[in-house]
Amino acid sequence: MLYPLSAGRQKALQYIESKLKMQKYRSRKLKLRDVLEITPESVNNWTPQTTEDLPWHFLRKLMALNAMARSTKLEHRALGDQTLIMDKEELGIHEHFFFLSDTDTSDCLNPLDVLCAVLLCSDSFLQQEILSKMSMCQFALPLLLPALDTPKCTLLLWAMRDIVRKWRPHSLAESRGFREESLVLTSMPTISFVRLGSCSFSKSKLLNEVLSPSQQHHNFFIHQDMESGNVPREIADGLVEISWYFPGGRENSDLFPEPIAVTNLRGDIESHWLQFSFLTQVSSAVFIVTESINERQYALLSSLQGSDTKYYFIFNNQAATSKETIGFLKKLAPGLKLNNSHVLQKGRATNQAAYVKTLQSAIAGIMKSSPKRVSIEAMAETAHQLGIQVDEENKKCQRASEYAKEITVHIKDVAKYKREKLRLQGETWKNLAEVEKELCQMRKQGNIPLEKYKSQLKEKLIDLRVQQHEHDLTDGLTTFITGLGLLPPEEKRYFLKWMKFDLDHIARENLSKLRDQYKEKCKNSKDDPQMFAELDKLISASSLGVEHFMRELGQFYEAEHAMVKEGKMAESQRQFIHLPGIAADLMLEGFPMELIDGDVSNIPLQWVTDVLTQLHAKLGGRSRMLVLTVLGVQSTGKSTLLNTMFGLQFAVSSGRCTRGAFMLLIKVSKNFQQELGCDFILVIDTEGLKAPELAKLEDSYQHDNELATLVVGLSDITIVNMAMENATEMKDILQIVVHAFLRMEEIGQKANCQFVHQNVSDVSAHEQNMRDRKHLLEQLNEMTKAAANMEKKGREMTFSDIMDYDLEKHNWYIPALWHGVPPMAPVNVGYSEKVYELKKYLFEFLKGCLQNRSPKNIPQFLEWVRSLWKAVKHENFIFSFRNSLVAEAYNQLSVNYAEWEWGFRKMMHLWVSEKETFIQNQPPDKLDTNVLIRLQNKAQVKLMKESEKILDHLEQYFESGAANLHLIEKYKEDFRRSATGLRNELESYSFSKLEEAIEIRKGQHKTDAVLSVYKRKIEEKVDRLLNHCRKRKCKLNNDEQEREFETMWTETLGELSLIPLLKRNIDEEMALHLRRDLENKGSAVWQMLQDAKSLPTYTTQNFKMKKEYLDLSMFQSLKTFVSAVKERFTQECWHKTEALATSLIDECNSYTEKKANDKADYDETYCRELLRMINEQLQQVNVQDLHISACFEVDLKLLILGDAARAFQKMHEEFITENDPLERLGKLKPQYLSTFKSLYLEKDECQDRAWNFCDQCLRPALVDYVNKRLGTEIVDDILSSEQSADYSTRSFFQFFVLKKLLEENESNSYLQYTRNYVHFIKTQIQKHVLKRYREKASLGDLEKRIFSTIISKLRDVLKNSTGVKTKTVSSFLDNFCDKLQQDLVIPKESLEVILFKNTASADQFSAFIEQFIPELEKQVLSTFENLEIESKLSKLAVKPQDAIFKQVFGCGKQCPFCRVPCDAGAPVHEEHFAKVHRPQGLGRYQWNETSRLVSDICSSSVASNLSFRCAETKGEFYPYKDYRKYFPDWRIQPDSSITASDYWKFVFKEFNHQFAEEFHALPADLPDDWYKITKEQALASLNEAYTLK
């Protein structure tokens, strides 16, 4: 320590230590950050309990502009009795005062002591903030701080630097002009009040009265009679306070016509001579308050003579002024130039008001005498001479000031300076913003082909960046950057402050000049809108602050970044790479950062991204934040509101003309983070909405709109500041806000909004305004409806649809900011308190929100900024919002859903196959309708359970807290409906499977019955033959046995009255159906049918488009059509019809194939179903637009039924063969023969028969068992394989297919992909399955697995049936089949042969079976092994390729323009969408005039002003923007990144010629830069579009 420990210092130290417990802040000073941090206390009603709470109480209340901040009252818990306190309060304030003064004041502190101590413990920036806020509260400010930490007292100049005051001197009253100036720079007369000796009345109280405007008393100075004002000062003696009077331009009521400063020295001048001397030098007049003057005092006073300062004496009346005093006065009179008017007596009877008046007129008199005017800055000089310290006279502050001056000294004309020295943010940046927007909106495309135009714009963008980059740093900017980069932290902050003060000062001068001009012009010329617009522009150009310098830095950074990205510069050459880190540091210190540059309405995205990313890193990744925004008309106190709420420093001034949005971080204290769920609050202040100065500028409305949408989208809470004085502007704002909210609702972001009605002070406001609130809601509803209409939303909407709005809770009435008339008005206590209440509510609300959403961290916030901004730039907001957070959440859900879906399907497949097995095992007579109903009921129970399981999964998923679920809330319904859809699908699947199984089983009944008659006959004959042969003497040898048997067989067959099954003529039956179907189609059709050949001669393989398929008479009648156009539409219809035919053929053929594999007999419903399928397609609306002729219909039906007729005929014949009793009997012949032979030889046939059972019954049943299950197992295997991701959702599958295509890079594959998408996908899947299982091993494992399950079950059954009462083989087998009736279909007729004359013991039989199992297993597996994979697949009950197709194919709809398939993840969805669209040429679009393929990409087209025409529009042009009129179920997102379609651009340029040939067109004329796209870039764009970072 350099100074000796003076008495004052010691006292101060002790005070701070013992009373305030602030010692730790003596070396590490309190910082603004410490005070602003959000703690639990900042949202609790918190009253100080002990003296150590007092500094915090003061700081918090002061930051909230609370007039009670200076109170040092403690909550007296000691009394413990609540009612007592209440009583006291009710008794009135007097009682209370006595209470305080009478009792011990030891734990009371004098407010001035607290103030001094706090200042002592604060760093110079916090001091500045404290004084600024005190000034708003109209508290007197400390001018000279007593010598507490320094040898002498300190002049607080720096601490007042930030204060700006506005007033209207009487000289400007006429013109209604005003002055606005930095307080410390304003020169004005200063009047000082000091005390000599003791004095019994309060000087401060008197001063308050002198300064208070009439009718309104305000306590500028703390005085005796105020709460705690009487507590003896411990450290604040010697403090000089200063306060001001500023006139408001009201000649009648203003006390003084010009500003005047009043200082007040605490303590006796004798003990504070230094302060007193200072005051005598800077003041125009000094009022000395005293009771008497003694010898010593006289001596002191006489030393004052010689200055031109006027002296006044105020004598108190307590004791009549003594003779001695009067004597001294007389002696002093000549030296101090006293006369009678300089001595003011305050007699006992003097009326207080009159006395104050006297004083005021004395002061007025002084002001008239042209007194000296000194600014506080100038006082520093005097202080210097007297050895008084000045707070800003330290090296750091001075150096920073010089640094700032280096920049600011060159600024004279702001507009000019900005134009010449801040060049990057000028025209170029504006142009950049426009080009970026044009890229999204394509307004000025003209005749240039779309993609070419886009390429041009891209080039222009780069050009502009190059231009920016080529600018050298100006001197000013270089200084600014080094200032930020190289100055030590504290100096840097001084530097920024100095910049602000200097710039504000310059801008104020500029603006005031402009305003004068404006006024002049107003007087002279009536109204020349042109000129006013000019002036408005100039005014808006004349604002200049640190933010403009920061903005410029941002632009340099952006330009450099672009150069590196374009490869025009090496990463290592970057000079600005360190800037984001610096800016991040500033943000950490609470410096507001520009988010949107409102002048050009653009975001420096790279800059903002990198700054915030740096910030995120500096915070160690802990950057969760809640976002709070305020919106409202310009100059309605938005910034003031935020500043009051959080103690911030957003720029406040009615004169500012900036626009845009600034963000500022407030830290949440460690002990509050958990409760609040975030680490920071990000506050966004908006500027310039509906600013009158800006209203006339071009694009103003749109800029406002963009700004509002963006900030609303980013916020968790939006405060809408309502100022009803500006009703029309307010309405506009509300409209903008409603639009913004509507859009947010659309994307799943349900924001909260609080309406703050300012300037409503009545206590009854809330009650009184009930009607107003209702009215507001009506208005909001009205606006919502209108907005919904504008956004083309179909449904009726009200305001509460777009947000949680509570009429009562979300409206706030806040009294006017000022209590009284500015400039002398302090902040209203009510204002501060109401704002505090609002703040408390907001925090409660935010805590409540935690359940629904987790606060975004910086990377997530940035993602929102990026995607919202993209969407805003595409003005068609709703259609363009694509956010990777949303996409990722949706994708995750899709993956999950796909799993649940497959689980459900698999379950039902298994269930159905068990029931089928069961049915096949039933004797036909048992299969009455009851069986079906019973099974259907069971199915329904199962379906219900399973589908509920999916819905449960869905609910659980939405409650699981997975990321960003609230964003996809609206898709939940899609998935719910998908689950129901799936249930229905599986219901009809299982029902029809059951019915079918029963029908098939019943169909076998007739033949079965005949067969059993035959069998009985044969068995009878075998029996007889056996007897007959046994009776013969000689033994028959093997040949003879067989011969005998053969003869018997032939004879018996001859005896049977054979009724072969009737063979039907399926093709004729079908032809008849067809004729009936086409009956009403007219004679031409009839004639065609007459001429038709027999059905089986037709085959779909011969399908070829013919001219007569299209009925183009309509085109002929349209005269306006030039032939090229006609040609084009003919082509379009032609291709669409062809595609229709192909898909129908595919669909029908696969139906036919499926039926033909069912092993059932043909049923006429099959033919009817085919015709229904065709008719359904042909009746669809869009098909009707194709102008298809009847000829097409007839031909198509003939071809399809032709294929079907052949297939069904064959199927029917096979059925007859399979089921012909005679045939079936024939198959049993070998078994009968072997039975006959062993019976004849009396061999022990048990072993043979057991083997026969295994071979004839179990083997086919086991093969069947495996085939029924293998399909689902294969699907499972694929879905859990290493490639499972590719098949997990529709969009992953798309990605997989496209990637594979690119890898192959074969024109043919792409052509097939475009030619027939469904077919292509099916083939792909088929190929994949085949390839995967071509090597037997992997499939063999699956088979073995299935097999081992059934074998072990079989063994169980065998084990459990031995030893039971089953004596005979027959009862054993009955039991055996019964146990396995759900698993194995045992062929009955073979079984019967085995039972024929079977006398073996059951135990023995079963033992043999068990013994044969390994052999059986070997045989079955070897049958599988020897099968080719293709034929294996064809036998499966569930075809894996079909199941997978269902899983990944999606809805199969294709974009109406480019034919890219829909990849929505929910199976049922309201709108189709695709991640990437492609050049429309790939969808066959070509130009009429040139026949060249179109290179435009739909996602660009829908954002452009172009039009399209197609068959659907009947050839009329229609704007792309409104494509949803014709294709309402499609949502085409405008291209969100320039590179998203690179994949298809690449493909198109690679195979331009092949596509052209395929589509009978000429190759497209592609933009040059497409040729530069590499395969790697194509792949990268695919990755970007489909897989998420």
Ligand X SMILES: Nc1nc2c(ncn2[C@@H]2O[C@H](COP(=O)(O)OP(=O)(O)O)[C@@H](O)[C@H]2O)c(=O)[nH]1
The site that binds Mg ion (CB under 5 A) totals a number of residues, namely 2
1477 binds Zn ion per the rule CB under 5 A: yes
- Kindly tell me which of 687 and 1442 has the beta carbon lying closer to Mg ion: 687
Q: Which CB sits closer to ligand X, 68 or 816?
A: 816
> Least distance from C-beta 550 to Mg ion, angstroms?
17
Among 281, 634, 1007, 1256, binds ligand X (CB under 6 A): 634
**Beta strand 240-245 pairing with 141-145:** antiparallel
* Greatest alpha-carbon span in the chain: 179
Residue 366 vs 825, nearer CB to ligand X: 825
Token pair listed for 838: 């609002």
Site residues (CB under 6 A) for ligand X, limited to 679-708: none
Q: Which stretch binds Mg ion (CB under 5 A): 356-364, 637-645, 1256-1264, 1390-1398?
A: 637-645
Structure tokens that stand for 253 in this block: 């009521």
639 binds ligand X (CB under 6 A): yes
Which of 1482, 1440, 1174, 1191 minimizes the C-alpha distance to 1322?
1440
Q: Would you count residue 639 as binding Mg ion (CB under 5 A)?
A: yes
Does 883 bind Mg ion (CB under 5 A)? Our answer is no
Which of ligand X, Zn ion, Mg ion, none interacts with 1472 (beta carbon under 5 to 8 A by kind)?
A: Zn ion
Contact region for Zn ion (CB under 5 A) — 111-119, 1085-1093, 1476-1484, 1542-1550? 1476-1484
Which CB sits closer to Zn ion, 909 or 1477? 1477
1462 contact choice in ligand X, Mg ion, Zn ion, none (CB below 5 to 8 Å, kind-dependent): Zn ion
Query: In the set 369, 654, 937, 1050, which binds ligand X (CB under 6 A)?
Result: 654
User: Could you say which of 143, 390, 652, 1078 contacts ligand X (CB under 6 A)?
Assistant: 652
1511-1519 long-range contacts (CB < 8 A, ≥24 apart) are 1511/1129, 1511/1132, 1511/1133, 1511/1136, 1511/1185, 1511/1186, 1511/1187, 1512/1182, 1512/1185, 1512/1456, 1514/1185, 1515/1115, 1515/1118, 1515/1121, 1515/1125, 1515/1129
Site for ligand X in 812-871 (CB under 6 A): 816-818
The C-alpha atoms of residue 1524 and residue 597 are separated, in whole angstroms, by 34
Q: Minimum distance between the CB of residue 1481 and Zn ion, rounded to whole angstroms? A: 11
Neighbours of 423 (CB within 10 A): 19
Nearer to Zn ion by Cβ, of 312 and 1313: the residue is: 1313
Contact segment (CB under 5 A) with Mg ion among 245-253, 262-270, 483-491, 631-639 equals 631-639
Q: Calculate the CA 324 to chain-centre distance.
A: 84
Rounded CA-CA distance 462/828 in Å is 53
Task: Answer yes or no whether residue 1510 interacts with Zn ion by CB under 5 A.
Answer: no
Number of amino acids touching Zn ion (CB under 5 A): 10
Q: What share of residues in the chain are helix, strand, coil (percent, to 5)?
A: 60, 10, 30
* Complex with Zn ion: residue 909 or 1478, whichever CB lies closer: 1478
Closer Cβ to Zn ion, 266 or 1477, answer by number: 1477
- In 3D space, the residue among 1161, 1133, 1391 whose CA is nearest the CA of residue 1255 turns out to be 1391
Helix axes 1190-1219, 1066-1077, angle to 10 degrees: 150
Q: Which residue is nearest to ligand X (CB)?
A: 637
- What gap in Å lies between CA 10 and CA 485, rounded to an integer? 40
- 1497 secondary structure, DSSP code: B
1395-1454 positions binding Zn ion, by CB under 5 A: 1451, 1453
Among 280, 428, 758, 978, binds ligand X (CB under 6 A): 758
Nearest to 1458 by CA among 1388, 1522, 1548: 1548
Strand order in the sheet with 260-268: 343-345, 310-315, 285-290, 190-196, 260-268, 240-245, 141-145, 154-155, 389-390
Name the minimum Å distance from CB 1508 to Zn ion.
11
Between 556 and 1544, CB nearer to Zn ion = 1544
To ligand X, the closest distance from the beta carbon of 547 in angstroms equals: 14
639 or 1289: CB nearest Mg ion: 639
204 binds ligand X (CB under 6 A): no
Q: Output 66 or 653, the one with its CB closest to ligand X.
A: 653
The H or E element that residue 1049 is part of is: helix 1038-1055
Q: Which does 640 bind (CB under 5 to 8 A by kind): Zn ion, ligand X, Mg ion, none?
A: ligand X
| 637 scored as a contact of ligand X (CB under 6 A) | yes
Using CB under 6 A, pick the residue from 653, 896, 990, 1361 that binds ligand X: 653
Both tokens of 14, joined, read 């002790």
SS (H, E, C) 1512-1527: HHCCCCEEHHHHHHCC
1235 binds, among ligand X, Zn ion, Mg ion, none (CB under 5 to 8 A by kind): none
Tokens of 201: 């009345």
Q: How many residues bind ligand X (CB under 6 A)?
A: 16
Q: Please tell me whether residue 635 binds ligand X under the rule CB under 6 A.
A: yes
Binding region for ligand X (CB under 6 A) out of 589-597, 650-658, 962-970, 1517-1525: 650-658
Rounded-to-integer distance, Cα 1152 and Cα 1209, Å: 11
Indicate which single residue of 389, 408, 441, 636 sits in contact with ligand X (rule: CB under 6 A): 636
* 1498 forms part of the interface with Zn ion (CB under 5 A): yes
- The H or E element containing residue 265 is strand 260-268
Q: Which of ligand X, Zn ion, Mg ion, none sits in contact with 931, Cβ below 5 to 8 A by type?
A: none
What is the spatial distance between Cα 274 and Cα 272, in angstroms, rounded to a whole number? Answer: 5
Cis-peptide into 189, omega within 30 deg: no
User: Measured from the CB atom, is 283 or 718 closer to ligand X?
Assistant: 718
CB of 40 to ligand X, least distance (A): 28
- Binding residue for Zn ion, selected from 57, 61, 454, 1472, defined by CB under 5 A: 1472
Site string for ligand X, 594-633 (x = CB under 6 A): --------------------------------------x-
- Stretch of 90-98, 870-878, 1497-1505, 1570-1578 contacting Zn ion, by CB under 5 A: 1497-1505
Q: Tell me the H-state helices in 881-968.
A: 884-921, 929-959
Least distance between ligand X and beta carbon 208 (Å) = 23
Our CB check for ligand X shows the closer of 643 and 894 to be 643
1473 binds, among Mg ion, ligand X, Zn ion, none (CB under 5 to 8 A by kind): none
Sequence-separated contacts (24+) of 8-17 with Cβ below 8 Å: 8/146, 8/147, 8/148, 8/235, 8/238, 9/147, 9/148, 9/149, 11/234, 11/235, 12/116, 12/117, 12/120, 12/148, 12/149, 12/235, 15/113, 15/117, 15/234, 15/235, 16/117, 16/120, 16/121
How many C-beta atoms surround the C-beta of residue 1315 within 10 A? 14
Q: Compute the least distance from the CB of residue 640 to Mg ion, in Å.
A: 8
CA distances from 1127 to 1124, 1132, 1133, 1514, 1563 (A): 5, 9, 10, 14, 18
- Is residue 107 within 8 A of residue 114, CB to CB? The reply is no
Region near ligand X per CB under 6 A, out of 209-217, 584-592, 649-657, 868-876? 649-657
Nearest Cα to Cα of residue 791 among 679, 895, 875 = 875
Q: Which stretch binds Mg ion (CB under 5 A): 148-156, 682-690, 713-721, 1359-1367?
A: 682-690
* Angle value at C-alpha 504, between 498 and 509, nearest 5 degrees: 130
Binding site for ligand X (CB under 6 A): 632, 634-640, 652-654, 758-759, 816-818
Binding site for Mg ion (CB under 5 A): 639, 687
Binding site for Zn ion (CB under 5 A): 1451, 1453, 1455, 1457-1458, 1462, 1464, 1472, 1477, 1498
